[in-house]
């Protein structure tokens, strides 16, 4: 291969090569230019551990006949070298020195007395080394992960091993365990101390400054902190700053009262005890049931549960309610003549009577209902009403506040649209309210006469063509105008009066409210329970009253309102009139032919229509009314 008799046999040929210095061959320094067969592989300078490799780049042993001699040590093959010789034997474990050829870093990687801050593997590889043991482990192999945290009364998992003396004892007994995950007591020599409640105290005071301050602190509530020195047991303490707030001291003897065997809590908010407002966090035996604030006529705006838990409370009520659960919301306004909803409860004597009777002023209330069941509904004016202050102005077509009362016949009707052709003259009044309960306009009949003097003048006026102006006095319909419509002063000129529609002539409702003032007051009245009074404003049906029927002032108390009656099968009727103006006009309308519209007022059945069905404006034209079949 090299010519001649083999490698290095022809040194003249070797000397003839570029960059070759024959005197550098076999000088124990590896040279890449000499590391060829003809030069005898640099005389062996590039193979083996005893040579110098600082003047070569490739520095490879290319001699195929070279066989590396492995040194043997006590642990087997003894290879490697000191990566950093100056650090060998300095008591600091260095991974690059931790090999057999470097004497295992001079012993720096074995034993608990060395420092392991500058290594990653940090393994004791010296098979001759004998680990020391203690009473818990046969060989002490661990070390302190954080030397500065050893013995600081905080358990650290990285220090909790035999080599770190079990974190200096920090993981056993009454220490802090907030900085560890495993937090196990691994020291087998530790003798656990306990008390009457637990065998071993593991916790400690999380907040030492607050021990025994009469405020329960969860972080102190453990045996190692003497159960927060009693702060978490009994009603004498404050539980405002804890979440669990449990009494864990098994030696505590709880006192009770007539309602509970043991008072375990006190006032959550002591300053609000007995202030007349129910507070859930005070409503316990230890706080005397919030000083009685959660039973009887008190304020319940600041609680959620709001339960009367005091078993000794004696219920107080009157003829109308069994228990006065609320008191006066605004005590200074009780009995002032003005109805106040917040005071209108049994515990406030029904606002001192301010919400019942003719004299009740309802300026500042929304419900304004007479809830006192002992008060009879007034049917006539009281004898001492003030009467007419200015008699000559009664019924003069001008609303006068001074005359607008019951004894003056409500100013002769001057303050109500219904008795004034839809228009009230308010020039001489301030309140200008329609107070006559029998003369109030129908809430469903909206609008008014914009031009009263042109009402019923034979000319259709769009501005007057509404329910409140009686559809311009009938000027816009052929039937009520009794002749062709004059359209000189209108643009729309449409016949809107339901009673004057072509083909009308069906039955109309002629009934009236017997007691208009009590329509829609939540109490069923027989004399209002008819179609003309909107079935007492829905007071006689569960569905329309949105609750149980109050039957104090009715005898029949029947649900007659079609909108409030359940449909067949007991399902409530939710349908409505599609075209209310054409209900009961004698012509069948599919849009009205449902339970909520009284089946078009009977227009779609021969029996209820009392004659042939007019099908001009329907497609289905089916008789669906159960009464008409």
Residue 52 in tokens: 């110098």
Which is nearest to 434 in space by CA: 474, 468, 401?
Answer: 401
Q: 348, 321 in Cβ contact below 8 A?
A: no
Mean pLDDT for all residues in the chain = 83
Average of pLDDT values for 265-272? 84
The per-residue pLDDT for range 476-509, each reduced to its tens digit, is 998 888 888 999 889 889 888 887 776 544 445 6
pLDDT of residue 382: 59
pLDDT band at 144 (very low <50, low <70, confident <90, very high): confident
Cα distances from 162 to residues 114, 131, 217, 530, in angstroms, run 14, 11, 35, 95
pLDDT of residue 216: 92
Rounded-to-integer distance, Cα 536 and Cα 550, Å? 12
- Please, which residues have CB within 8 angstroms of residue 212's CB and are 6 or more apart in sequence? 228, 229, 230, 231
The per-residue pLDDT for range 322-343, each reduced to its tens digit, is 777 778 888 889 998 888 988 8
Cα distances from 153 to residues 49, 182, 189, 536, in angstroms, run 52, 16, 18, 79
pLDDT band at 290 (very low <50, low <70, confident <90, very high): very high
Q: Is 420 helix (H, G, I), strand (E, B) or coil?
A: coil
Average of pLDDT values for 31-45? 91
pLDDT band at 361 (very low <50, low <70, confident <90, very high): confident
Residue 457 in tokens: 């003048």
Q: 360, 339 in Cβ contact below 8 A?
A: yes
Residue recorded with tokens 């600082």: 54
pLDDT band at 358 (very low <50, low <70, confident <90, very high): low
Rounded-to-integer distance, Cα 551 and Cα 544, Å? 15
DSSP 73: E
Which of 289-303, 418-432, 473-487, 495-509 is least confident?
A: 495-509
**Burial class for 227, CB neighbours closer than 10 Å (0-12, 13-18, 19+):** buried
Distance from CA of residue 181 to its chain's centroid? 33
Q: Which residue has the higher pLDDT, 255 or 184?
A: 184
What is the CB neighbour count within 10 angstroms for residue 549?
A: 17
Element (H, E) at 543: helix 542-545
pLDDT of residue 378: 42
pLDDT of residue 407: 74
pTM of the predicted model, to two decimals?
Answer: 0.28
- Please, which residues have CB within 8 angstroms of residue 16's CB and are 6 or more apart in sequence? none
Residue 92 bridge partners (DSSP): 115
Q: Are strands 76-77 and 72-73 parallel, antiparallel or unpaired?
A: antiparallel
Rounded-to-integer distance, Cα 68 and Cα 486, Å? 130
Cα distances from 507 to residues 191, 428, 473, 531, 602, in angstroms, run 100, 42, 21, 12, 9
The per-residue pLDDT for range 442-468, each reduced to its tens digit, is 666 777 777 878 888 999 999 888 887
Q: Output the CA angle 140-143-148, nearest 5 degrees.
A: 140
Q: Is the pLDDT of residue 569 over 50?
A: no
Which of 1-5, 233-237, 540-544 is least confident?
A: 1-5
Q: Is 442 helix (H, G, I), strand (E, B) or coil?
A: coil
pLDDT of residue 570: 44
Rounded-to-integer distance, Cα 446 and Cα 423, Å? 12
Rounded-to-integer distance, Cα 69 and Cα 52, Å? 17
Q: 414, 433 in Cβ contact below 8 A?
A: no
Which is nearest to 565 in space by CA: 592, 539, 595, 590?
Answer: 595
Residue 291 in tokens: 């000083």
pLDDT of residue 442: 67
pLDDT band at 4 (very low <50, low <70, confident <90, very high): low
Torsion (CA) 373, 377, 383, 384 in degrees, nearest 10: 60
The per-residue pLDDT for range 118-133, each reduced to its tens digit, is 888 888 888 888 777 6
- Please, which residues have CB within 8 angstroms of residue 398's CB and are 6 or more apart in sequence? 414, 425, 427, 428, 429
Which is nearest to 136 in space by CA: 191, 171, 188?
Answer: 188
pLDDT of residue 205: 83
pLDDT of residue 556: 84
Q: Is 166 helix (H, G, I), strand (E, B) or coil?
A: helix
Which of 269-278, 395-404, 570-579 is least confident?
A: 570-579
pLDDT band at 516 (very low <50, low <70, confident <90, very high): confident
Which is nearest to 17 in space by CA: 42, 53, 49, 46?
Answer: 42
pLDDT of residue 505: 45
The per-residue pLDDT for range 365-409, each reduced to its tens digit, is 877 788 888 775 444 665 555 677 887 888 898 999 988 888 788
pLDDT band at 567 (very low <50, low <70, confident <90, very high): low
pLDDT of residue 398: 92
Q: 490, 481 in Cβ contact below 8 A?
A: no
The percentage of residues in the chain with a pLDDT greater than 90, rounded to a whole number, is: 13
Q: Is the pLDDT of residue 83 over 50?
A: yes
The per-residue pLDDT for range 204-244, each reduced to its tens digit, is 788 888 999 989 999 899 888 888 988 988 887 888 888 88
Average of pLDDT values for 77-105? 87
Which is nearest to 365 in space by CA: 346, 377, 351?
Answer: 351
């Amino acid at each position: 291969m090299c010519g001649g008799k083999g490698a290095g046999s022809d040194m003249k040929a070797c000397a003839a090569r570029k960059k070759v210095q024959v005197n550098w061959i076999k000088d124990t320094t590896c040279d890449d230019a000499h590391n060829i067969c003809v030069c005898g592989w640099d005389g062996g300078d590039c193979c083996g551990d005893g040579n110098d490799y600082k003047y070569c780049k490739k520095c490879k042993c290319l001699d195929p006949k070279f066989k590396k001699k492995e040194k043997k040590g006590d642990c087997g093959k003894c290879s490697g070298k000191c990566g950093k010789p100056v650090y060998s034997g300095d008591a600091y474990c260095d991974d690059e020195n931790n090999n057999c050829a470097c004497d295992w870093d001079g012993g720096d990687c074995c034993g608990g007395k060395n420092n392991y801050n500058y290594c990653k593997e940090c393994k004791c590889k010296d098979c001759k080394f004998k680990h020391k043991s203690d009473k818990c482990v046969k060989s002490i192999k661990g070390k302190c992960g954080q030397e500065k945290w050893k013995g600081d009364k905080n358990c650290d998992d990285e220090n909790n091993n035999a080599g770190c003396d079990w974190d200096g004892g920090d993981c056993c007994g009454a220490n802090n365990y907030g900085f560890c995950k495993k937090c196990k007591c691994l020291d087998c020599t530790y003798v656990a101390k306990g008390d009457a409640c637990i065998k071993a105290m593991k916790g400690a005071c999380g907040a030492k400054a607050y021990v025994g301050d009469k405020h329960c602190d969860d972080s102190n509530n453990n045996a190692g902190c003497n159960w927060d020195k009693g702060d978490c047991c009994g009603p004498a303490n404050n539980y405002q700053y804890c979440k669990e707030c449990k009494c864990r001291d098994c030696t505590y003897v709880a006192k009770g009262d007539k309602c509970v065997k043991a008072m375990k809590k006190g006032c959550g908010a002591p300053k609000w005890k007995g202030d007349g407002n129910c507070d859930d966090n005070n409503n316990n035996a230890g706080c005397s049931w919030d000083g009685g604030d959660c039973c009887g006529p008190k304020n319940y705006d600041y609680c959620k549960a709001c339960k009367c838990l005091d078993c000794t409370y004696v219920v107080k009520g009157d003829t109308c309610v069994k228990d006065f659960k609320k008191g006066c919301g605004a005590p200074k306004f009780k009995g002032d003549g003005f109805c106040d909803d917040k005071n209108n409860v049994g515990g406030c004597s029904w606002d001192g009577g301010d919400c019942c009777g003719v004299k009740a002023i309802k300026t500042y209330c929304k419900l304004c209902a007479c809830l006192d069941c002992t008060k009879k509904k007034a049917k006539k004016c009281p004898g001492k009403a003030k009467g007419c202050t200015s008699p000559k102005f009664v019924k003069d077509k001008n609303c006068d506040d001074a005359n607008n009362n019951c004894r003056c016949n409500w100013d002769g009707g001057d303050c109500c649209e219904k008795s004034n052709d839809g228009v009230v003259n308010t020039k001489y009044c301030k309140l200008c309210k329609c107070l006559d309960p029998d003369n109030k306009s129908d809430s469903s009949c909206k609008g008014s006469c914009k031009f009263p003097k042109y009402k019923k003048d034979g000319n259709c006026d769009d501005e007057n063509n509404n329910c409140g102006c009686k559809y311009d006095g009938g000027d816009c319909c052929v039937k009520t105008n009794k002749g062709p419509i004059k359209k000189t002063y209108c643009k729309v000129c449409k016949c809107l009066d339901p009673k004057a529609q072509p083909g009308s002539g069906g039955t109309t409702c002629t009934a009236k409210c017997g007691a208009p003032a009590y329509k829609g007051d939540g109490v069923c009245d027989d004399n209002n329970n008819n179609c003309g009074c909107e079935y007492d404003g829905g007071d006689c049906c569960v569905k329309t009253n949105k609750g149980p029927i109050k039957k104090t002032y009715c005898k029949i108390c029947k649900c007659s309102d079609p909108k409030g009656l359940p449909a067949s099968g007991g399902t409530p009727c939710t349908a409505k009139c599609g075209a209310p103006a054409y209900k009961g006009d004698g012509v069948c309308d599919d849009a009205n032919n449902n339970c909520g519209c009284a089946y078009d007022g009977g227009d779609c059945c021969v029996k209820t229509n009392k004659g042939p069905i007019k099908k001009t404006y329907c497609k289905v034209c089916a008789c669906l009314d159960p009464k008409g079949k």
